[in-house]
Structure 1
Amino acid sequence: MTRRVFASVPVWSVIVPVAACILLAAIWGLAQGWLLSAVAGSTLLASVLVAVHHAEVIAHRVGEPFASLVLAVAVTIIEVSLIVSIMLAGGENATTLARDTVFATVMIVCNGVIGLCLLMGSIRHRTIGFRVEGTTPALAVLATLTTLTLVLPGYTSTTAGPTFSVPQLAFAGVVSFVLWGVFVFVQTIRHRDYFLPENAAAEDSHAIPPSVATALLSLVLLLVSLAVVVGLANVLAPTIQAAVDTAGMPHAVVGIAIAMMVLLPETMSAVRAARSDRMQTSFNLALGATLATIGLTIPAVAATAIALDLPLDLGLPAKEVALLALTLLLTSMTLSGGRATILQGAVHLVVFAVFVFLAMVP
């Protein structure tokens, strides 16, 4: 039985995570030269490719939308662990780390990932379709969570600055988790059919799904690969920081670069789905990642900040609020029609370019 399971899994998809773990353990805490950074970067890319492969194996076994949820939650849990560990370590940017990470994730996913998926899908299939009943509920939850956690703290009066008081922070954490939980319930149980690809029946009739044992092995290797991706991103952060300091750019660019690396597995899976004309799967991955980031990150950092009496700035500055409002408005217009073309993809990518540019040149 074990031999048959391993025979059905490509050798490279097992060797790469193991080798990446060994490399990560060997270079953790060491000073990163350019050669070592290049090796770490190459290993990071290979780990991303392996993560995408195992995510697709799981997707074939469990089907949508559970597959998108598995990848979104796995990435977010590991990302939350990284954020909380940096918060505990303290530092100059620790108070705004959660805010910057959540905001960067929203902008990267809603503009970069969705824009790239729309562009790639429409180039290959001209006009692409998706289920409005699956995209608009996700967007409604996203707009509520982002406004509650990233905008509202700047307008409350109990505490000074873009912060929540302890009761407000606890309430925001509970509400964020509950709302995300309700969305997951609707997505996977109550109205699962809303989130299935339009051609789901045709897709399910092709290849035979992998066995349960193979899917479980892929799940383990997926989690290992994602842990390595986050670990290597953390290892490469000083090198990125040095490059940013040399170029004279703001510190927020480091967070954006790390967020991009962490989101690589979901981005590649979403783009592959878009090129196969499975836009609903792409949106499940993209929007699911954003909702999981807020729904899990905010409660985790809120609990940590309250328990350890750590300062936590959540409210966004005015420029970022304007970009967030534009992103939510644009995404709502894109996802409310059920059809999209290359134009929508181009508009989203332009907004993403503006976000990156203004982060480097504020």
Structure 2
Amino acid sequence: MQALLSHERLLVVAGVATAVAYVAGDRLITNGSTVAIASTVVLVLAIICASQRVAYHAEQLAHRLGDPYGTMVLTLAAVLVEVVVLAIVMSHETSPTLVRDTIYAAVMLDINGILGLAALMGGIKHGEQAYNDDSGRVYTVMILTAMAISMIMPEFVPADRWHLYSGFTIFIMIMLYAVFLRMQTGPHSYFFSYAYPEKRRPVVKTVPGPDTVWSVGLLITGVVLIGALSEVMAQSLNVSLANVNVPPALPALVVALISASPEMLTALRAALANRMQSVVNIALGASLSTVILTVPLMEALALFTGQPFEMAMTPIQTMMVLITLVITAINLNDGQTNAIEGMTHFALFATFLMLTALGL
């Protein structure tokens, strides 16, 4: 038991934070904005701790199940964390653009932030880093198609027919994901892999991970903790922002940061280990999953409640997405990345942060 607690210390931290938050109760939000802001920061960090362990146990299950089920578990676990946090924050946030802004922020964070920083750091250390350029092309065209259907075309849909287009969007997103999953795990699985030359390494005794039952149980525990922490965090976040002049898209950025946090360290470690294919799969795969799975779930919720979300991106958001995907298509077209290409993406990420800070 002691070994398990030591191994799951991040989950223990999240559990302790949950207990403290619920014992403290309203005192976290009734003692002024300073306490609320501090509480929000601590709660966000606790949620990130729990999401790290959810991602770890999802990866353990994926290794045991193999494809295609392993890929599905990884994807669904990542999206589940985002949907849980997003749905709970939405219950305390009246903004109709929260879903749109969260998906947009997640795409900027995944492609320009994670991919950009990883390619920059990996390029500085290793020079040019190889990957399978087929994966870059497939991911880019899928992301562009999904975002065009779900976040650009809604601008032209009459308001009294939103429910028809929402139903259509759900159907198309499911079809796109089904075909993509079949391609990723079937006859075209080689698109998403790259044969790196193996180096001789000393044999290191590895510690086996938890068995399947433990992984499932701890994964569910992590999701429950994320939900419980998000409930308190959403309340403290609203109080924190009530009397502070902050960008309106900050809640969306917080949700996107929470959902992307497990991928960041994994991608950076892969880049520094000269495994750029893993970085491409993580960054672009996370972006695609965010759009192609979060959108239908949120649209289904809108149809269920009868309250539509504002899904059409603003002109600035649309331009940033198009520029990002054009740069991605150019950079990921030759099978090698370098520091310059990473810097172009990171510059776009900095631009996204600046525009967000300006409230645009």
Kept in 1, the 8 Å contact 2:92–2:235? The answer is: no
CA distance in 2, matches of 1:75, 1:322: 27
Query: Is 2:302 the counterpart of 1:305?
Result: yes
2:349 pairs with 1:359: no
Alignment correspondent of 2:159:
159
Matches of 1:140 and 1:239, distance apart in 2? 39
Output the amino acid matched with 2:277: Q
Q: Secondary structure, in 3 states, of the residue corresponding to 1:114?
A: helix
**How many Å separate the matches in 1 of 2:306 and 2:40?**
36
Q: Give the number of aligned pairs.
A: 350
Alignment of 1:38-187 (within 5 A): 39-40=42-43, 43-44=46-47, 46-47=49-50, 50-51=53-54, 53-54=56-57, 57=60, 70-87=73-90, 89=91, 91-93=93-95, 95-156=96-157, 158-159=158-159, 165-187=162-184
> 1:287-326 residue pairs with structure 2 within 5 A?
287-326=284-323
Equivalent residue number for residue 187 of structure 2: 190
2:11 aligned partner: 17
Q: Distance in 1 between matches of 2:169 and 2:11?
A: 37
Gaps of 5+ in 1: 1-5
* d(CA) in 1 for partners of 2:97, 2:41: 29
TM-score by length of 1: 0.83
**8 Å Cα contact 1:77/1:296 also seen in 2:** no
Report the CA distance shift for 1:90/1:48 in structure 2 as closer, same or farther (over 3 A): closer
How far residue 117 of structure 1 moved from its aligned partner, in angstroms, is: 1.3
- Deviation (angstroms), 1:148: 0.7
| Cα distance in 1 between the residues matched to 2:241 and 2:357 | 9
Deviations 1:172-215 (A, max 9, x none): 11101210121111112232222123328779997688768635
Give the superposition deviation at 1:80: 1.6
Gaps of 5+ in 2: 29-34
Aligned residues of 2:102 and 2:253 also touching (Cα < 8 A): yes
Please tell me whether the aligned partners of residues 54 and 218 of structure 1 are also in contact (alpha carbons under 8 angstroms): yes
Query: Identity percentage over the alignment?
Result: 25
TM-score (norm 2): 0.83
Show the counterpart of 1:273. Answer: 270
- C-alpha root-mean-square deviation of aligned residues, in Å? 3.3
- 1:340 corresponds in structure 2 to 337
Pair 37,285 (structure 1): closer, same or farther in 2 beyond 3 Å: same
Conserved 8 A contact 2:89-2:230: no
Displacement of 1:247 after TM fit? 4.9
Q: After TM superposition, give the deviation of residue 229 of structure 1 in Å.
A: 4.8
Relative to 1, partners in 2 of residues 1:247 and 1:213: Cα closer, same or farther, differing over 3 Å?
A: closer
- CA shift at 1:350, angstroms? 0.8
C-alpha contact (below 8 Å) 1:118/1:341 kept by paired residues: yes
Asked whether the 8 Å contact 1:142–1:290 carries over to 2, the reply is: yes
After TM superposition, give the deviation of residue 154 of structure 1 in Å: 1.0
